[in-house]
A and B are shown apart, each in its own frame.
Chain A
Amino acid sequence: MTTELLQEQQGLPSEVLQKNDVTIMIGGQGGDGTLTVVNLLGRAFRNIGLFIYDSRNVLSRIRGGHADGVIRASTKPIYCIADNVDVLVAFDEEAVEAGEQELSNQAIIVFDSSKGPLDPNYSSRGYTVYNAPLGNLASQHLRKNIFKNTIAFAILGRLMGLEDSLLEQVLRARYERKGKEALEANLKALSLGFEYCNSNIRASSFKIARLGSASNRILSTGNEAVAFGFLAGGGRFFVGYPITPATDIMEWLAPRLPKFGGVVKQAEDELAVINMGLGAAYAGARTMVATSGPGQSLMTEGVGHAGEAEIPIVIVQCQRVGPSTGEPTKNEQSDIYHVVFGSHGEFPRIVIAPGTASECFKMTVDALNIAEKYQLPVFILMDQALCQNSESIEPFDLSSVKIERGKLLSQEQLDSIPLYKRYELTEDGVSPRTIPSLEGGQSQVTGNEHNEFGLVSTDRTNRFRIMHKRMKKLEAAKKDLPRGVVFGPSEAKIGVIGFGSNYGPILESLEQLQEKGFKAKFYQIRTIWPLLEEDLQSFVDTVDTVFVVENNYNGQLASLIKSSVEQRDRIQSICKFDGTSFKPNEITRAVLSSVISGIGA
């Protein structure tokens, strides 16, 4: 059969299509090694200068159960998975079933047919199906089923028109460190894949565009960026308790922070985590803790203590599906109220929310500075997708890192103070802070209401003044808080607001809306509390409708915004709470259906 014939039969154009953007899904059982293929592809794409973004969909179990990885490559920067999958590698039928609703109409399916070919119905639905006995090939020739990954990698490379030499180079880079045996076995698997292609797939289905040679870009998840931001920002005390999807931060820091004289401590529970953190921060260490919703629930009393006792601490909150145990590995943004309001009593706190890995790095440094300058708890609000998906980005800008410790007194400064008061009433509400071992800075730091010395007081005048002192720090801090960023044409009358991992899907949705003739602009909110009301108001003033896009049931961010702007009726919610991230076209459809029904009315 000639190449042309084969392509015709498969419904492919005889001229090979060039694609600037491609999304590939690899699905199987946990332990099948689907993530290995994602990593190999990522390396190959980066070597030809492409931007990549990947996400992993796993269950909360060590082995088994359906798991898949999705990787997208593009000639432009990308911050989310595309609407549709172009190529699916399925190690079992379940992976096809799980992935089918994501597939584009012309998708290609590479199916591991070791246990029989894929149900022919899939071909009749328009997909191009290759039944390749991946597992059998691996078992027969290499005695290990797991090499089916590398075989799949070879087939994927050929399908996308990647050069064989590039694939080999990527494989060598990964396995050379793991010893000769591993490398040779993988190279053999690669050639098995090529052989399969030689007799079954005579031409590539499309050709992925090149963007030059390997770029200087790095690959980072949000969690890794937060962890590195903590280190570079002078963080030297991290305490945690394992919890998905926050654990990566502790895992990243554990081998590195001690090399800088710092401590990574795993505590017995989150009650210990927050209080150990508060002790270290009080004694002078730049301190961060990281957790998810359930851990924050246990930490809540400690967060209030940080507020009352005025101790600087950064809390990374990696949101997942809740409440209770919820879905530990799935994406949600339903802890907005929890971070903004959780606790008894009232105290100043700050909640900032990065949207990309670059921002995760920079805003972690900001969080450390803000915590120390204003002596209060600062939350970095993350979500599972931002935490664990990888982005290719410019290297972190280490030279831009500035460390500001606020009114932290040196011994010389203390010596010039006639009478030291830890909670001295000041113009901006921030009192000079000392750390134990300085002479003359002896004081009481306490969760009891207290006077300026930190001694217990229930005097009503004192309570009134000291409460004011604490709360006004929030006003003073506003000048240092990350402001929102506006994207899209300024004259647009459709507004979108969102945060965290919705940054990417919203940006792409703006493009989709533009293609359909609708101008929309996006206000990426980066400080969730206190709301920067003037900025929000001036955005809302310029549009007819604002769609607040968030991953929760109640529209928590929308209700916060409604409480702070004048035109409440302009605010509409686009909510998703099925555990998956927004696809750009889901936002586009929701905006369009509302706008079009509005025009109709």
Chain B
Amino acid sequence: MTAKFYTPSAPIWCPGCGDFGVLASLKKALSELRIGSKDTVVVGGIGCSGSIHNNLECYGFHSLHGRLLPTAIGIKLANPRLTVIAAGGDGDGYAIGSGHFIHALKRNPSIVYIVMQNGTYGLTKGQPSPTAIPGYEGNVEIPFDAVLTALSIQGSSFVARGFSANQTQLTDLMKKAIMHSNSNKGFAFLEVLSPCVTYNDTYKLWREQVYDLNAERGYDPHNRASAFKRAYELVLQEKIPTGLIFEGEADSLEKNTLTSPVPIAFQDISIEANLPRYQEILNDFH
């Protein structure tokens, strides 16, 4: 059978890039959850990671630098039946787009947000990103910890972190994140440690630092306060907590916003269908 549409392009990443692991686990998760390409929208940001939508069969949207979250929220509100996945880098999400990140956590739209975190701006050849550690390329600032931030925002409903070198865990987290948002529970935030082999090769360091919280006896991912406390303790010990760190209950944005069971994208907006009600509104002008 001939293709009905485009053939995904090959990734632009360097051999060994962590983003390959993200792409592989994302494909696997979508396939295992049997989510069709026609119902999947992947919104990419700017940077190496922000080209991931080109490498998948889907409806892809390449947004502006830092603006993938508002874009994805707009898509979800227009058609909540879609699986909407925003995927970008840590410069995109935690620097230029950080305002939207905070508000997405607070707003709780049912979309998945994957951040490929590598501590550097790889595409522009290695400047320190918001997660860069002190000393990297002259960085003097303490790194931004998005997991702690996400936990601290009341209304955040899903906070997880994976490592591209751990495919089993990552695929499982991807599936959990997609299931969280697709059951309209809200914003599924998944940070993935995804090393840049060219400008900031952290594979070895991160293998030593990652700490799977879900493997810890008695860890409760449904208790925000204890999750924050434990994650923060690990950060102070120079560990990086991974796994499903927190999942809570909060009303989703669509639940609180949408008033019709029919997605806006498919509503009858013809004048004929609405005329009597428009006439009523016209009376308000008298």
Q: Which residues of B contact A218 (CB under 8 A)?
A: 282, 285-286
Q: Which residues of B sit under 8 angstroms from A435, Cβ to Cβ? A: 79, 265
- Cα–Cα, bound, A263→B102 (Å): 21
Instruction: Tell me which residues across on chain A come within 8 A of B257, comparing CB atoms.
Output: 263, 265
Task: Please tell me if the beta carbons of B77 and A436 are within 8 angstroms of each other in the complex.
Answer: no
Which residues of the partner chain B approach A237 to less than 8 Å between Cβ atoms?
Answer: 74, 77-78, 264
Q: A261-B262, A282-B61, A436-B82 are in contact. Are A443 and B77 (CB under 8 A)?
A: no
Among B179-187, B209-217, B221-229, B271-279, the stretch that binds chain A is B271-279
- Check A419 for interface membership: any CB of B closer than 8 A: yes
Q: A280: CB under 8 A from chain B?
A: yes
Chain A residues with Cβ below 8 Å from B69 are 272
Which residues in window 57-96 of B have CB below 8 A to A? Answer: 57-64, 66-67, 69-79, 81-82
Q: For the complex, is B153 an interface residue (Cβ under 8 Å from A)?
A: no
Indicate whether B129 reaches chain A with its CB closer than 8 angstroms. no
Known A272-B100, A283-B74, A419-B2; judge A231-B281 contact (CB<8 A).
Answer: yes
Q: Closest CB-CB distance, B221 to chain A, in whole Å?
A: 28
Report whether A301 and B79 are in contact in the complex, using a CB–CB cutoff of 8 Å: no
Q: Are B62 and A271 in contact (CB under 8 A)?
A: no
> Is A260 a contact partner of B274 (Cβ separation < 8 A)?
yes
CB–CB A395/B282 < 8 A: yes
Docked complex Cα distance between A448 and B4 (Å): 23
Whether A115 sits at the interface, judged by CB under 8 Å, is no
Partner of A258, one of B102, B259, B267, B282: B259
Q: Is B124 an interface residue (CB 8 A)?
A: no
Q: How far is the CA of A267 from the CA of B75 in the complex (A)?
A: 14
Of A56-64, A74-82, A450-458, A576-584, the one contacting chain B is A450-458
* B60 x A454 contact (CB < 8 A): yes
With A218-B285, A439-B38: A275-B67 Cβ-Cβ less than 8 Å: yes
* Beta-carbon contact of B39 and A437 below 8 Å: yes
Complex: A96 Cα to B39 Cα, angstroms: 65
A283 touches B266 (CB 8 A): no
Separation of A262 and B277 alpha carbons in the complex (Å): 14
Minimum CB–CB distance for B57 against chain A, Å:
6
Are B54 and A456 within 8 A (Cβ)? yes
A249 interface residue, CB < 8 Å from B?
A: no
- How many whole Å from A113's CB to the nearest CB in chain B? 37
- Indicate whether B117 reaches chain A with its CB closer than 8 angstroms: no
Partner-contacting stretch, out of A131-139, A396-404, A532-540: A396-404
Give Cα distance in the complex from A336 to B274, angstroms. 35
A263-B257, A443-B5, A447-B64 known; A232 vs B278 contact (CB < 8 Å) = yes
User: In the complex the two chains form, what is the Cα distance from A275 to B104 in whole Å?
Assistant: 13
Residue B53, interface by CB 8 Å: yes
Residue with the highest number of chain A CB atoms closer than 10 Å, among B38, B70, B264: B70
Closest Cβ of chain A to B95, distance in Å, is 13
In the assembled complex, which residues on chain B have CB atoms less than 8 Å from the CB atom of A220?
A: 285
Cα distance A277–B269 in the bound complex, in angstroms: 18
In the assembled complex, B270 has its CB within 8 A of some CB on chain A? yes
- Nearest residue (CB) in B for A444 is B60
Taking a contact as CB atoms under 8 Å apart, the answer to whether B6 and A453 are in contact is yes
Which chain B residues border A301 with CB–CB below 8 Å? 64
Residue pair A279, B5 in contact (C-beta under 8 Å): no
B152 CB-CB contact with A under 8 Å:
no
Query: CB-CB < 8 A to A259: which residues of B?
Result: 259, 277
B61 touches A279 (CB 8 A): yes
Contact status of A442 and B79, CB under 8 A, knowing A277-B74, A283-B41, A401-B271: no
Q: Chain B: which residue is nearest A286 at the CB level? A: B269
B14 at the interface (CB under 8 A from A): no
Contact with B along A277-295 (1 / 0, CB 8 A): 1111111111100000000
* B258 CB within 8 Å of chain A: yes
- Which residues of B lie under 8 Å from residue A441 when comparing CB positions? 5, 38, 59
Contact B270 A443 (CB under 8 A): no
- A445–B71 Cα distance when bound, in Å, is 12
A420 at the interface (CB under 8 A from B): yes
Given A261-B267, A436-B82; A275-B60 close (CB under 8 Å): no
Q: What separation, in Å, do the CA atoms of A439 and B5 have in the docked complex?
A: 10
The answer to whether A491 has its CB under 8 Å from any CB of chain B is: no
Closest to A283 in B: B78
- Determine whether the beta carbon of A420 is less than 8 Å from that of B5: yes
A448 engages B274 (CB within 8 Å): no
Number of A-B contacts (CB under 8 A): 220
Contact A284 B265 (CB under 8 A): yes
Of residues 1 through 36 on chain B, the ones whose CB sits less than 8 Å from some CB of chain A are 2-6, 9
Residues of A within 8 A of B100 (CB): 268, 271-272
Residues of B near A395 (CB, < 8 A) are 282, 285
Interface membership of A531, Cβ < 8 A:
no
A443 and B4 in contact, given A231-B281, A275-B71, A278-B71 (Cβ under 8 angstroms): no
Asked if B237 lies at the interface with its beta carbon under 8 angstroms from chain A, I say no
Chain A residues, CB < 8 A from B51: 456
Q: Which residues of A contact B271 (CB under 8 A)?
A: 232, 234, 398-399, 401-403
- Shortest CB distance A225–B (Å): 9
- Contacting B58 at CB < 8 Å: which of A239, A402, A442, A446? A442
Nearest A residue to B41 via CB reads: A436
The residue from B77, B263, B279 contacting A398, defined by CB atoms under 8 A apart = B279
Collect the chain A residues with CB atoms within 8 Å of residue B285's CB. 218-220, 224, 228, 395-396
Instruction: Render B39-55 as a binary contact track against A, CB cut-off 8 A, 1 for contact.
Output: 11101000000010110
Residues of A within 8 Å of B72, CB to CB, are 279
Does A256 sit within 8 A of B, measured CB to CB? yes
Residues of chain A contacted by B260 (CB below 8 angstroms): 261
For residue A120, CB closer than 8 A to chain B, the reply is: no
In contact, A437 and B60 (Cβ under 8 angstroms): no
Q: Which residues of A contact B54 (CB under 8 A)?
A: 444, 455-456
Judge whether B37 is part of the interface by a CB distance below 8 angstroms.
yes
Whether B278 pairs with A239 at a CB distance below 8 angstroms is no
B37→A442 contact, CB < 8 A: yes
What's the least CB distance linking B37 to chain A, in Å?
6
Contacts of B270 in A (CB 8 A): 234, 403
Q: Is A418 an interface residue (CB 8 A)?
A: yes
* A196 and B69 alpha carbons, distance in the complex (Å): 63
The reply to whether A447 and B38 contact each other, CB–CB distance below 8 Å, is: no
Contacts of A418 in B (CB 8 A): 2, 4
CB atoms of A302 and B6 under 8 A apart? no
Q: Which listed residue, B4, B64, B277, B281, touches A275 by the CB 8 Å rule?
A: B64
Cβ A261 vs Cβ B259 within 8 A: yes
**In the complex, what distance in Å separates the CA atom of A279 from the CA atom of B100?**
14
- Least Cβ–Cβ distance between A105 and chain B, in angstroms: 37
Closest to A236 in B: B264
Q: How far is the CA of A261 from the CA of B73 in the complex (A)?
A: 17
**A438: CB under 8 A from chain B?**
yes
Q: List 27 A-B contacts (CB under 8 A).
A: A218-B285, A219-B286, A231-B278, A232-B271, A232-B278, A237-B77, A256-B281, A260-B277, A261-B259, A261-B260, A263-B258, A268-B99, A271-B99, A275-B67, A279-B61, A283-B41, A284-B263, A285-B78, A401-B271, A403-B270, A419-B3, A437-B38, A442-B38, A444-B60, A445-B62, A447-B64, A455-B9
Known: A302-B64, A445-B60. 18 other contacts (CB 8 A): A218-B286, A228-B282, A234-B269, A261-B259, A261-B262, A271-B99, A272-B67, A272-B70, A275-B63, A280-B78, A280-B264, A281-B74, A282-B71, A284-B265, A396-B282, A436-B82, A445-B62, A446-B62
List 3 tightest A-B contacts by C-beta distance, closest first: A279-B74, A284-B265, A261-B260
By a beta-carbon cutoff of 8 Å, the part of chain A in contact with chain B is 216, 218-220, 224, 228, 231-232, 234, 236-237, 239, 256, 258-263, 265, 267-269, 271-273, 275-287, 301-302, 305, 309, 395-396, 398-399, 401-403, 417-421, 435-448, 453-456
